[in-house]
Amino acid sequence: MYAYIKGEIIDISEDNLVLECNNIGYNIRIPLSVTQRLPGIGATVKIYTYTSVREDAFNLFGFLSKDDVEIYKKLIAVNGIGPKGALSILSAMSADDLRFAILSGDAAAIAKAQGIGKKSAERIILELRDKVQFTVSAAADLEVLTSSDTTAETNAKNEAIEALTSLGYSPSDALRAVRQIELTEDMDAGTVLKQALKIISTL
C-alpha cells in the first residue's frame, strides 16, 4: 500500500517508530538493526514500508532500503516464518549478514534470533538459497571465504576465520568479527585472530 513514508521522527523505541507526515502519525514496527541506525527525534527520515493486513490487525513494518523490504518479504514467505519471526531475524542481524548466512548455509547464525529454532533456520536456508541475491558486501564476504588469492591480507583473513570456526564459532560470526578489523600489511593470521576473538565476544 505504501512504498515509503518520509517524515519527522516523533518517537523511537526498541522495535517501534512513530513518524509524522502531513500531520498524521504513523506507527511503524522496525527491527533493532534499523533502530540502531536511525537519527534522533526531530530528524527527517525516509522509511520504506511493508503493509501487513489481517482480519484482526493492520501493521506497517519499516526499513531503511527497498532491498531490506524485499528480503523481509522473502522471509515471511517461508513456511512457519511470520511477520514477527522475520522482524526478529532482522533484529538479530543485518540484511547483508542474513544473506551471507543463507548463502554460506550458516543455520546457527540465523537460529540466534529470538523465537527461531534450528529447524526454522535450516528451512530458511533451503527455501531462500536460490532466491536471495548477492549485494556488493555479501559477495565480497563470500569471496573472502572461497578466494584462492594468495595475498597476505586474504590469507590472514581466511586463516583467522578458519581458526575461529574450528573453535566453534559460526562462519557468519567469524566473518563479522574479522571484517571489523582494520588490516595492515604486517598483520599475520595470529594477530588477526587475537583481535577477532576480542570482537566476537561482543557479538
The backbone torsions φ and ψ at residue 7, rounded to the nearest 5 degrees and listed phi first, read -170, -170
Specify the number of domains making up the chain. 3
Residue 189 counted as domain residue: yes
Same domain? For 82 and 55 the reply is no
Distance CA 151, CA 132 (A): 29
CATH number of the domain within which 18 lies: 2.40.50.140
Same domain? For 82 and 44 the reply is no
**Amino acid at site 51:** T
Same domain? For 193 and 152 the reply is yes
Residue 133 counted as domain residue: no
| 172 pLDDT higher than 50 | yes
Q: How much is the average pLDDT of 147-166?
A: 72
What confidence score (pLDDT) does residue 72 get? 94
What confidence score (pLDDT) does residue 25 get? 95
Same domain? For 28 and 59 the reply is yes
pLDDT tens for 44-100 read 999 999 998 877 778 899 999 888 899 999 999 999 998 889 999 999 888 888 888
Q: What is the DSSP secondary-structure string of 159-176?
A: HHHHHHHHTT--HHHHHH
Q: What is the DSSP secondary-structure string of 117-144?
A: -HHHHHHHHHHHTTT----HHHHHHHHH
- The length of the chain is 203
Same domain? For 39 and 72 the reply is no
Residue 176 counted as domain residue: yes
| 4, 83, 200, 180 alpha-carbon torsion, rounded to 10° | -20
Distance CA 72, CA 128 (A): 11
Name the DSSP class of 181.
Answer: S
Residue 142 counted as domain residue: no
Same domain? For 87 and 124 the reply is yes
Same domain? For 78 and 117 the reply is yes
Average pLDDT value over all residues in the chain: 84
Same domain? For 71 and 123 the reply is yes
Same domain? For 77 and 90 the reply is yes
Q: What percent of the chain has pLDDT over 70?
A: 89
pLDDT tens for 114-154 read 999 999 999 999 999 888 765 544 444 544 554 544 566 67
Residue 140 counted as domain residue: no
Strand 57-63 vs strand 24-29: parallel, antiparallel, or unpaired? parallel
Residue 196 counted as domain residue: yes
Task: Decide: pTM greater than 0.85.
Answer: no
Q: How much is the average pLDDT of 6-20?
A: 94
What confidence score (pLDDT) does residue 180 get? 82
CATH number of the domain within which 160 lies: 1.10.8.10
Residue 17: enclosing H or E segment and its boundaries? Answer: strand 16-21
CB 57 within 8 A of CB 84: no
Residue 108 counted as domain residue: yes
Domain that holds residue 19: 4-63
Same domain? For 86 and 123 the reply is yes
